[in-house]
Amino acid sequence: MLSFEQARQLVITDTQSHLTSPPTSLLPVTDSLSHILAQEIRADREYPPFNRSTRDGYAVRAREGTKNSALRCIGEIKAGDTVFAPLDPGTCIQIMTGAAVPPSADAVVMIEFTRRSGDAVTFDRDTQPRQNIVPQGSEAHAGDLLLHPGLRLGFAELAIAAQVGASNLLCYQKSRVAILSTGDEVVPITETPGPFHIRNSNSVSLAAQVRLAGGQPVPLGNALDRVDDLSAKIELGLQHDILVLSGGVSMGKYDLVETVLKSFGAEFLFDAVAIRPGKPVVFGRCRNKLVFGLPGNPVSTMVTFQLFVAPAIDLLSGAPARPLPLLNATLSQALHEKSGLTHFLPARLEWSAASPLVHALPWQGSGDIATLRSANCFLVVPADRHDIPAGEIVSVLPRPDVL
């Protein structure tokens, strides 16, 4: 059986080998957060566009601003002011943060290190050439490539685009991820369940995970555990970039997802991974679309989505697959797990101590959603470990929505 690393790599390799460039659309920069950029953004001018003062103080000739010397202050330069006249010898000029340093001045002395009496300014320290000045063009030259296609747009990238006047950005369209839950016992969340029915929470959590991963969820509701209903809804799901199913992939008599997908000509790259929860997870290709069959137990669905579906969404969105953001933490309580499978246990990571501490939460297994309200990560227990003593450094997979 594949390890989760091998299975994840298979998803990445297979998705990459069939990639085509996604369609694009032009979005206002203010609506582009977490989209993938499909164009180059270049500097429209020098950055900074002038020699910029980084402090409130006095612009001077450095060699004149020696300790205990005094210079005559001839005025002030506010941020945004135009400056043409060079600074005359023996003078200084008051300057604000973000203002243009005048020609001939080669340093700015912080106001905190000066004394003022009338128009005489005395310096507490020697002045070094170039201090507190960011030279014109030192951050970027006109025409420099600042953002490239395939980059994920975070707040800093949006600020860069805004800085160079790119008010609209050409972005890749989000990949469309069809979500189909399965199960005769599953009812819509707006209905009152019968005594042995359950509400369709997986379709809700999956849509949220799709959004977080940068995709566009397409909810297809629930299919009954019957070939005809499953076939009809899978047919609809295959019209989108990715089809994610929940439930119906285990060994039960009514777990029909693989059988029905096969009847559509699906080719499977794996149908089990050595993890718990999530072992019966299925990944394949059907009519050149990616298909994931995730186990129906809600925590299994969540873990397998994060491990296997998220990187496929990255790649189909025009970006590289983000690595799993595994962290190291100190185990605060000893663990006893059955070996053979890599376990992903709901856990809580705390930063109260000098280093991060993690403890597994008591839970009722992969159907127990209620425990997740206090879990901000999954503790990763390697397949070859039975007992892990408190104090050992362990690997932790953060929940991307809360950490």
Q: How many residues does the chain have?
A: 403
Least separation in angstroms between CB 377 and ligand AMP: 22
Integer angstrom CA distances of residue 15 from 282, 285, 300, 308, 312: 15, 9, 22, 11, 6
Q: Which of Mg ion, ligand AMP, none sits in contact with 367, Cβ below 5 to 8 A by type? A: ligand AMP
Binders of Mg ion among 170-209, rule CB under 5 A?
183
Residue type, 20: T
Binders of ligand AMP among 187-206, rule CB under 6 A?
198, 200-203
Q: By CB under 5 A, how many residues form the interface with Mg ion?
A: 4
Sequence-separated (6 or more) residues with CB below 8 Å from residue 118: none
Least separation in angstroms between CB 308 and ligand AMP: 16
Contact (Cβ atoms closer than 8 angstroms) between residue 327 and residue 379: no
Least separation in angstroms between CB 296 and Mg ion: 5
- C-beta atoms surrounding 80 within 10 Å: 9
Residue type, 386: H
DSSP 351-366: -SSSS-EEEEPP--ST
For residue 154, give both structure tokens. Answer: 């975070």
d(CA 186, CA 196): 9
| Burial environment of residue 322 by CB neighbours within 10 A (0 to 12, 13 to 18, 19 or more) | middle
Closer to ligand AMP by CB, 135 or 367: give it: 367
Closer to Mg ion by CB, 74 or 204: give it: 204
Q: Which of ligand AMP, Mg ion, none sits in contact with 53, Cβ below 5 to 8 A by type? A: none
Binders of ligand AMP among 332-371, rule CB under 6 A?
367
Least separation in angstroms between CB 391 and ligand AMP: 36
Binders of ligand AMP among 203-222, rule CB under 6 A?
203
Task: Determine which residue in the list 247, 295, 318, 346 makes contact with Mg ion, applying CB under 5 A.
Answer: 247
Q: Does residue 173 belong to the site contacting ligand AMP (CB under 6 A)?
A: no
Binders of ligand AMP among 232-261, rule CB under 6 A?
246-248, 250, 252
d(CA 79, CA 50): 11
Per DSSP, 51 falls in state -
d(CA 346, CA 373): 10
Task: Determine which residue in the list 209, 297, 304, 306 makes contact with ligand AMP, applying CB under 6 A.
Answer: 297
3-state DSSP call for residue 168?
A: strand
Q: Which of ligand AMP, Mg ion, none sits in contact with 185, Cβ below 5 to 8 A by type? A: ligand AMP
Q: Does residue 376 belong to the site contacting ligand AMP (CB under 6 A)?
A: no
Q: Which residue in the block uniquely carries the two structure tokens 């005769």?
A: 184
Using CB under 6 A, list all residues that contact ligand AMP.
181, 183, 185-186, 198, 200-203, 246-248, 250, 252, 295-298, 367
Binding site for Mg ion (CB under 5 A): 183, 247-248, 296
